[in-house]
Amino acid sequence: MHEGTRVLAGQCTTTTDADPATRKRGDVVVVCKPDNTVLVHDAEGYRPVEWLTRAETVRVVDGVLTATDGDEHLRVEVHEEYGSSSYPTSAAGTPIGDCPICDGRLVRDEGTVTCLGCRDVYGLPRDATLLTDAGNCECGRPRMRVERGRAFEVCLDRDCESLDERVKEAFDREWDCPDCDGDLRVLRRGGLLAGCENYPDCDTGWGIPTGTVAGECDCGLPLFDTGNGPRCLDTGCLALENQA
């Protein structure tokens, strides 16, 4: 990804997949987003006349923009340029407060919180609830509530307060491995999981689900209240099916 969004206005000819039959010429606006999505807009409607989403490469050589993604190609030849520039662009999200670093606005967009000022980005679990009305962390950032066996309230900035460490303090070695004499450790492997300490000799392990521990399953593993009914730590647990 590159920084900012590049915008060019001019009289251009666009061609896709090197097929002359797709050729279009007119006064257009070409938009190249930070993720290499290229859009060519003419005078009417919201739909671009041509586009290529998240191209692998975008190159501009001698007044010709070429975007390529596998076998897909978009070529924009600029005959007369009316103007071009690059503008800062960020995710557009719900405002949640001010950044303590630069006083810019913090916005939430799906799995991230982004500062529109200094561009700091914080990863956010999709099930997290931001506690914007409960007072910020001492660092000035909002706190969030996340359920991973218990309800944890931690700082948005994981370098300030680690959700992983809180879950480890609560559940590391709390449960026995059902397949050997080892303990289940709380590990970060993509997501948070409870995995056997004897790995790789024993590869037993499961992702720790969203929800709170609400007892013990008949198989001996913890039972989670997920809000959509009980769920064993073992996603393939037959004991829970028999209980139902």
Q: Are 139 and 160 in contact (CB under 8 A)?
A: yes
Please give the Cα distance from 233 to 235 (Å, whole number): 6
Which one-letter amino acid corresponds to residue 222?
A: P
Q: What is the pLDDT of residue 151?
A: 95
Q: What is the pLDDT of residue 1?
A: 45
pTM value is 0.70
Q: What is the pLDDT of residue 21?
A: 79
Q: What is the pLDDT of residue 103?
A: 87
The CA distances from residue 186 to 1, 122, 127, 189, 221, in Å, are 33, 22, 19, 10, 14
**CATH class in words for 5-87:** mainly beta
Q: Which two tokens stand for residue 225?
A: 């209240």
Q: What is the pLDDT of residue 156?
A: 93
Q: What is the pLDDT of residue 239?
A: 63
Q: What is the pLDDT of residue 149?
A: 94
Please give the Cα distance from 214 to 227 (Å, whole number): 11
- Give Cα 95 to chain centroid, integer Å: 17
Low-confidence ranges of the chain (pLDDT < 50): 1
Q: What phi and psi, each to the nearest 5 degrees, are found at residue 164?
A: -55, -45
Please give the Cα distance from 193 to 185 (Å, whole number): 8
